[in-house]
Copies of this chain bind each other. A is one copy, B any other.
Amino acid sequence: MTDLLPDPFFSGPGLDRADALRADEAAIRNLAAGPAARQLKWHEGLPELSNDGRLVWVTAANPQLFLGFEGDIPCFSTIEEVTPDARAAFPRMALLDGNDAPLFAAALSLSRWHSRHRFCANSGHPTVIVRGGWSRRCADCGAEHYPRVDPVVIMLAEHDGRLLLGRQPQYPPGRYSALAGFVEVGENVEAAVARELFEEAGVRATDIRYVASQPWPFPSSLMIGCRASAEGPELKIDTNELEDARWFDREEVLAALDEQCGAPFLPPPKTAIARTLLERWVAA
């Protein structure tokens, strides 16, 4: 039945990215100069939303980044100093229409990457935008740099019918969520899940399974959602990473997801894949 549950927020096809066009600078310039070209409107460091939660488009006056096509309409964005903090963005994200969410995520991550990567990491010299905004090239050493996507594992460990959830100090009061951490060089998904569960909670994991994934634009993660079995219930919490971690049974997770009065914790927001992982766990 879990396949009938919604996919994580921010996931979906988004625009036609027209990858093959990116190498054709003249074609992109022509598209940008055409009457149909439009660009995203931004407001206080995030793409602006209409009252019904849709992205807002204006005539392409400064089409720096080619996002792709919606139907026949070429869509662009400017490079903005974007809001790097998910907490500051949560009120606006709560309004965002799910159909526009993948493009919201792509524009936010891409724009922020440009604003923070104006120089070549190899030579220190300035770089210029190429490939319609999907790369920057160093005029000095020729190195080409692509927008970062940082894979992160996020996982529910399970033991004896209960789930392990943790609390980071910066969470709102009462919130517990799935443990997570960046995949490092030399690791696959399963090794990263095992390492993070052991580092953060002292839990030895077996039977690690992929569940779903989500782009997360603060600033530019690929959240890879997994489940694992824990060998035992004992916890050894890394208090540099987590304020607390606890096991919750199905009734407790259900009460939290229903946002019942007196529920034992506040669940992650609907935009987070941690919420999807919890919803799929209780539905299984």
Contacts and interface: CB of A to CB of B under 8 A. Distances in A.
A185 B110 contact: yes
Contacts of A122: 116-119
A117 to B, nearest CB: 4
Contact of A187 (B7, B102, B150, B183): B102
Contacts of A149: 150-151, 182-185
A220 B151 CA distance: 12
Copies in the complex: 2
A10 B188 CA distance: 8
Chain A interface category by residue count: 35 or more
A184 to B, nearest CB: 7
Interface stretch (A139-147, A158-166, A247-255): A139-147
Q: Name, among A104, A186, A224, the residue most crowded by chain B CB atoms within 10 Å (CB to CB).
A: A186
Given A19-B199, A106-B184, A149-B184, A189 B222 contact: yes
Interface stretch (A35-43, A86-94, A210-218, A261-269): A210-218
Interface stretch (A25-33, A48-56, A123-131): A123-131
A70 B146 CA distance: 34
A186 B117 contact: no
A113 interface: yes
Contacts of A8: 188
B191 A102 contact: yes
Contacts of A189: 213, 222, 224
A237 interface: no
A122 to B, nearest CB: 5
A157 interface: no
A186 B238 contact: no
A185 B113 contact: yes
A60 interface: no
Question: Considering the complex of A and B, which 7 residue pairs feature the smallest CB-CB distances, nearest first?
Answer: A106-B186, A119-B124, A109-B185, A210-B210, A117-B121, A188-B213, A105-B186
Given A102-B187, A186-B215, A189-B222, 11 more contacts: A7-B188, A7-B190, A102-B191, A106-B184, A106-B185, A116-B143, A120-B124, A147-B185, A185-B217, A188-B214, A188-B215
